[in-house]
Amino acid sequence: MNDDLRAGMAEATRHTLAGRLAEATATIQRTLGNLTAPGVAATARPAALPPLPFPDVLRRSAGMCAAGTARPGDHVHRVWQRRSRMPGAPGRVRPVTSDRVPPPAGQFVDGVYTNAAGTRSYKLYIPTGYVGQALPLVVMLHGCTQTATDFAVGTRMNVLAEGEMVLVVYPEQAAAANCSGCWNWFQTAEQQRGAGEPSLIAGITQQIMSAYHVDGSRVYVAGLSAGGAMAAIMAATYPDLYAALGVHSGLAYGAAHDLPSAFAAMEEQTPEPARPPAEAVPLIVFHGDRDPTVAPANADCLIDQWLPANGTGPHSAGRPAHDATVERGQVPGGHAYTRMIYHDAGGRAMAERWIVHQAKHAWSGGSPGGSYTDPRGPDASAEMIRFFREHPRGR
């Protein structure tokens, strides 16, 4: 992170903690507006603030999510909402309209899990064909401002689960933990096994495994944006629980540890690569190459981080790259895409990177009935289910 960004974010945090939210907003706008990459004209930098993580991280740092307290951060939230309604703004929120997407015939039930770190609700989809046989389980982590139901509708994952015979659980962030419903991926305390939000998500996973007949070798985790970043944390801290990982428009494990480093990571200004996980699990990544919220280079960072420890990433200067296969395609009437498949020394596909051309910050191939979706892209949900099916634990 450069000195101007660090100083600006520090000043904004001081204003926020003092309750001077208008000054904090102005400082962030001024700081981000003044930053330019070497050799790039100032006019080339987008003026809009990152629409998803921006309001919630300020509230979180100011402690404004406490139950029963006023929310002076609403001023910041209104600024963000106005920006998200600007013409051409990425990931504009649309209301969930269930009538546009007929729900599948299975059960979509409510649940709750509590441990020492707190309580989280969740929704669980049970396909109609479930009669007690062992099924795979997919854990889906929503993005900021989304709910479990919204995410289910937008990704169409329940529709796929009905045909594929998969259980799907959608943990839901608590408003008391984050006012914008974001998983707190950028906080060091939320990046540890056995503590904080990872312990809650793992606890929900294990609760479903205890209540239903789940194939323990076929438990997977995936997410979008803040949920994608948290999914990477889950796979890194619980590699014994999750057999494979799906990240859409997210960030690498440990890419940030506070507010300034979160901004830097989203803009791909992190000076050093994020720390490698103790044990790599197979990974599939989707990212739009016009994403203004989370820089597309974060997809490369994930791949570099996640390939097996005895290998190297495709962008490691001076070292041999993994064997990779490149495929290009085009959705009829939609986006073109590039798919890169990375193999280990034995020829097994360990990771896939899907770059969706001209796509912004939205779930590729998702339903217009949900929020933050782009129906014109390749079907990320179907490809993740396919990738998970190919990667049971122990294969």
Contact between residue 129 and residue 165 where contact means Cβ atoms under 8 Å apart: yes
Residue 68: which pLDDT band, with cuts at 50, 70 and 90? very low
Residue 224: which pLDDT band, with cuts at 50, 70 and 90? very high
Q: Does pLDDT of 386 surpass 90?
A: yes
Residue 277: which pLDDT band, with cuts at 50, 70 and 90? confident
- Residue that wins the pLDDT comparison between 277 and 166: 166
Give the amino acid at 88: G
- Residue that wins the pLDDT comparison between 23 and 189: 189
Radius of gyration of the chain (CA): 20
Contact between residue 11 and residue 27 where contact means Cβ atoms under 8 Å apart: yes
Sign of CA dihedral 161, 164, 167, 171: negative
Q: For residue 1, what pLDDT is reported?
A: 47
CATH class for domain 106-312+320-389? Answer: alpha beta
Q: For residue 31, what pLDDT is reported?
A: 57
Cα gap 368→317, rounded to integer Å: 41
Residue 97: which pLDDT band, with cuts at 50, 70 and 90? very low
Specify the residue for token string 């309580």: 119
> Where in the chain are the domains?
1-34+46-63+76-86, 106-312+320-389
Mean pLDDT of 243-255: 96
Return the closest-CA partner of residue 28 out of 62, 58, 72, 70: 58
The burial of 290, by beta-carbon neighbours within 10 Å (0-12 exposed, 13-18 middle, 19 or more buried), is given as middle
Give the amino acid at 114: T
Percent of the chain at pLDDT exceeding 90: 61
Q: For residue 338, what pLDDT is reported?
A: 98
Mean pLDDT of 54-59: 38
Mean pLDDT of 106-130: 97
Contact between residue 394 and residue 179 where contact means Cβ atoms under 8 Å apart: no
- List 124's β-bridge partners, or say none: 109, 169
pLDDT digits (tens, 9 = 90+) for 318-363: 333 456 899 999 999 999 999 999 998 888 899 999 999 999 999 9
Q: What is the DSSP letter of 105?
A: S
pLDDT digits (tens, 9 = 90+) for 368-381: 999 999 999 999 99
Q: What is the DSSP letter of 42?
A: G
- Residue that wins the pLDDT comparison between 65 and 237: 237
